[in-house]
Structure 1
Amino acid sequence: MSIPRVKLPPTNGSSYILPQLEGEIFTIPGFKSVFRMFTSQAQTNNGMAVFAWDGVKNDTAPFHHHKYAHDIFLVAEGSMLCWNGDECRLLGPGDFASVPPGTIHKPYPQGPVTKAIDLITPGDWVNFFRHVSDKFEGLIFPEWDDRQQGMFPNLVGNWEEAFDVFAHPDHVGCPVSDWSEKDEVLPDGEVPYFLKANKGPRWLLGGVMSRPFMTTVQSGGRSAISIIESSNAYTSSVFHQKLAFSAHHCLVVFDGELEVSIDDGEPSVVRPGEVCFFPAKVPFRLGFASKYVRFWSFASGNGIESLVGEAGQRYPGQALPDHAQAWDDEKLKEACQKLKITRL
């Protein structure tokens, strides 16, 4: 059985593929943008929510913080000003911001069209979006929505605690800073940070490269995010075998064709703009069906990127090598045991 293609994330615990621009789609009145939910608490046992945020320049999101939720912003297109604690950066494509609990922050899309893919843990935080938003039935996003509702419309009672959103209407953001060398390394712990595109660490396992934005070290064990790259020029891959992870995976394809299959089913092809979701403990295979394949991997714990980092080696280059490097099968076995990954 191949993985089904659906327009809405199912709630029956199954794997699925979302075609481009599909998902559970909301718009906050006046935001001139949409949130396209790829996966949330119903699919991940509250482990994470992953969603696209697409729209034009808009300054309606206020300064706020979350007491429990960890927020990330990862720009795919356009630009975004992001205040993150006592620092601010102008994020471009591939730039990343990690906002742990308790950090006052504010995202401000700069356009002309900004597309970001964001993750937040726990996954049920996005119930706030569901509460203050309207379902979106249009094509791309509501560019001409001039309603003045704001982000906190008609909320009564103890809504800040209920939705884990604490507003700071009088907060004054710091000036925008230039990128620096500290934005090229992953910190050792769950602290606010930025990571410049393609400046962070790179790991290689055979012919599969991982460029992590965040590991479980930076997320308090709750999530991990990485760019994964490979090619059909390589004859073998660790991911040609069935692997069952203890984390849920949401894969967003940007380049090439990715072949995915679960259990002993027929492979399905995931193309640029499409999303594939694997629940935890479901064995899956990955096939890289184009000369160059690139996807962003979002996991609710130690996932694909953790295996590449643990079983592979640091890689000094920026581009995939012409020939896949040999991997140490004993090291791979030890990594799977450590990360609770089952090889089938």
Structure 2
Amino acid sequence: MTAAYLAQPEHQQQLEWLDGSTFSVLLDKDATEGQLTVGRFDVAKGEAPPFHMHTREDEIFMLIKGSALVWAGEEEHELREGGIVYLPRNLPHSYRITSERADLLMIATPGGIEGMFRHAGRDLTTPRPDGFEIPKFLMAEAAELHGAVVLGPPR
């Protein structure tokens, strides 16, 4: 069945992610009949995920606010405010935020990548333990369960 889905901000799950960043699940696979995931990152300067690739989905990132370096394969590019990048599945990639803060929109197709964030991230509706940090083993487990392959450290 095809149906529209409206998610007001209060219905969007917010998760603490790497280096204290926030990942908001705007639309997940359940809301889009498996077609896509839409998420939004609020990140600080220096935030950088490991160099990795996704085997199940293509990703699109749009930098709403801020600046970043993006690696796609062995190419390095500067992504400025309003810039957008398409990362097909199986293409190794990463980024590093170079502005003080960044607002980054992510679209992945097909949907399901939100499971990785939910598996390792901390739901912001729960109390934050002192010194909370996502353990490396949990990050690796989440990546493996959701078709992401960590290829190396952040760039």
TM-score category of the 2 structures, normalised to the smaller one: 0.7 to 0.9
Name the counterpart of 2:77.
89
Corresponding residue SS for 2:134: coil
2:29 is equivalent to residue 44 of structure 1: no
2:90 is equivalent to residue 105 of structure 1: no
2:12 is equivalent to residue 23 of structure 1: yes
1:83–1:150 distance in 2 versus 1, CA, 3 Å = farther
1:155–1:66 distance in 2 versus 1, CA, 3 Å = closer
Instruction: Please show how residues 159-174 of structure 1 align to structure 2 within 5 Å.
Output: 160=144, 162-169=145-152
CA–CA separation in structure 2 for the residues paired with 1:98 and 1:86: 15
Query: How much has 1:14 moved relative to structure 2?
Result: 4.7
Corresponding residue SS for 1:131: helix
Corresponding residue SS for 2:138: coil
Instruction: Please show how residues 306-325 of structure 1 align to structure 2 within 5 Å.
Output: none
TM-score of the pair, normalised by structure 1: 0.40
> RMSD over aligned Cα, in angstroms?
2.8
**Match of 2:67, as an amino acid?**
S
CA–CA separation in structure 2 for the residues paired with 1:32 and 1:117: 17
Once the two structures are superposed, residues 116-140 of structure 1 have per-residue CA deviations (whole angstroms, 9 ceiling, x without a partner) of 11101121121000000110149xx
1:17–1:135 distance in 2 versus 1, CA, 3 Å = closer
1:101–1:15 distance in 2 versus 1, CA, 3 Å = closer
CA contact (8 A) 2:121 2:134 kept: no
CA contact (8 A) 1:55 1:111 kept: no
**Match of 1:167, as an amino acid?**
V
Structure 1 unmatched ranges of 5 or more? 1-12, 174-344
1:42–1:75 distance in 2 versus 1, CA, 3 Å = same
1:82–1:22 distance in 2 versus 1, CA, 3 Å = farther
CA contact (8 A) 1:35 1:52 kept: yes
Corresponding residue SS for 1:16: coil
Which of residues 70, 73, 88 in structure 1 aligns to 2:61? Answer: 73
Query: How much has 1:86 moved relative to structure 2?
Result: 2.0
1:150–1:167 distance in 2 versus 1, CA, 3 Å = same
Of Structure 1 and Structure 2, which has the larger fraction of its residues in strand?
2
Which of residues 115, 118, 121 in structure 1 aligns to 2:103? Answer: 115
1:154–1:134 distance in 2 versus 1, CA, 3 Å = same
Query: How much has 1:31 moved relative to structure 2?
Result: 2.2
Once the two structures are superposed, residues 250-309 of structure 1 have per-residue CA deviations (whole angstroms, 9 ceiling, x without a partner) of xxxxxxxxxxxxxxxxxxxxxxxxxxxxxxxxxxxxxxxxxxxxxxxxxxxxxxxxxxxx
Aligned residue pairs: how many?
151
1:103–1:44 distance in 2 versus 1, CA, 3 Å = same
CA contact (8 A) 2:23 2:41 kept: yes
Query: How much has 1:108 moved relative to structure 2?
Result: 1.5
Once the two structures are superposed, residues 68-119 of structure 1 have per-residue CA deviations (whole angstroms, 9 ceiling, x without a partner) of 2111110001112111112111211110111101111012222311001110
CA–CA separation in structure 2 for the residues paired with 1:170 and 1:22: 34
TM-score of the pair, normalised by structure 2: 0.82
Q: Which has the larger radius of gyration?
A: 1
Greater relative CO, 1 or 2 (CA 8 Å, sep 6+):
2
2:49 is equivalent to residue 61 of structure 1: yes
1:146–1:106 distance in 2 versus 1, CA, 3 Å = farther
